Structure 1
Amino acid sequence: MLSNHRKNAATNISCAVITVSDTRTKNTDKSGKKIIDLLTNQGHQLSLYKIIPDDGEQIRMTVEKAIYSANIQAVIVNGGTGISYRDVTIESIEPLFNKLLPGFGELFRQLSYQYDIGTASILSRATCGVANNRVIFSIPGSTGAVTLAMEKLILPEIGHMVKEIYKDLEN
């Protein structure tokens, strides 16, 4: 079902993809590559791709740089959303949010429970928000979680979200 809002959604969104991992490289980052492939196959642009370690300050600084870049409209961060000591992505980016979109994390966990990992979905702290008129998604780093989030939530709504963010800013 396609709502009237989504019929007029923005297309060709300029995106940043940030992988948070202490071990991945550009050669081994299957999840980052999956996000990029899914975005570009839908006609969106990749403006920034970085792999950074599970370090709160580096995560915050990298996301901040992305949201203050004139050519980026959306940021997708994968990794660091669990409950281990090194998982600090959420703590690093949520303070940047002007608006929290709790429905994203709620729906992601519901879909994850239903289609992917069952009760282990309660360990996910996936989230979404708006900062400096940019939408930021933070999702787990597993390829299954990335595929689920991208196909079921992010790709269907990213254009609509960007349109909603910018509609009152356009003159």
Structure 2
Amino acid sequence: MLMLEEHLELTPQQIRCAVLTVSDTRNKKTDKSGKLIIELLQDKEYEVAAYEIVPDDSEIIKAAVKLLVKNHAVNALILNGGTGIAARDVTIEAVRPLFSKELPGFGEIFRMLSYQEDIGSASILSRATCGSINHRLVFIIPGSTGAVRLAMERLIIPELGHGVRELNKDL
């Protein structure tokens, strides 16, 4: 059985990510969460191959995700926004049917950490999740900067290389 250190040694050296912000109100100048994701990825020397903002529209979200996961320059996709329970929050409904595999542990642990370290009982209103599409790791996280920082620093960045390696080791 591999130990954690061995898992980390086997992770790919070059990981390229796409960032997709889902919002009706943000643009590339005002998208603090998208910029934070990019900054945190680049701090760990991950490449950002694409960055887009799309409106809270299920068909547009789905089309953008399909396009990004077909891109061979992308190993992982991080979406932020549209994970709540408001009528316009449709990111989960747009993307979940595209998953080959869903990784429910991500959302479960994210909500636990959110509860303990960030927003308390309001964490039950988050539907953050993770899965794979076309051998790409796809994270869907809330659009607040606090949620982005928590998800990126505590879950996504520590497991990004490991997840990408696992998705591609049998190809």
TM-score (norm 1): 0.96
Letter in 1 for 2:22: V
Instruction: Give a deviation string over 1:28-69, Cα, whole Å, max 9, x none.
Output: 000000000000110111111001100000000001100011
Structure 1 vs Structure 2: percent identity of aligned residues? 60
- CA contact under 8 A between 1:55 and 1:88: conserved in structure 2? yes
Q: Distance in 2 between matches of 1:146 and 1:33?
A: 10
TM-score (norm 2): 0.96
Instruction: Give a deviation string over 1:91-114, Cα, whole Å, max 9, x none.
Output: 000011000000000000000001
Would you identify which runs of 4 or more consecutive aligned residues in structure 1 move more than 4 Å? none
Describe the SS at the equivalent of 2:34: helix
C-alpha RMSD of matched pairs (Å): 1.0
User: What does residue 68 of structure 1 align with?
Assistant: 70
Instruction: Give a deviation string over 1:90-145, Cα, whole Å, max 9, x none.
Output: 00000110000000000000000010000000000000000100000000000000
Q: Distance in 1 between matches of 2:136 and 2:143?
A: 21
Q: CA deviation at 1:10?
A: 1.8
Q: Distance in 1 between matches of 2:57 and 2:163?
A: 28
Describe the SS at the equivalent of 1:39: helix
Describe the SS at the equivalent of 1:141: coil
User: What does residue 12 of structure 1 align with?
Assistant: 14
Matches within 5 A, 1:21-170: 21-169=23-171
Q: Distance in 2 between matches of 1:2 and 1:159?
A: 12
- CA contact under 8 A between 1:11 and 1:43: conserved in structure 2? no
Flag structure 1 segments of 5+ consecutive residues without an equivalent.
none
Q: CA deviation at 1:5?
A: 1.5
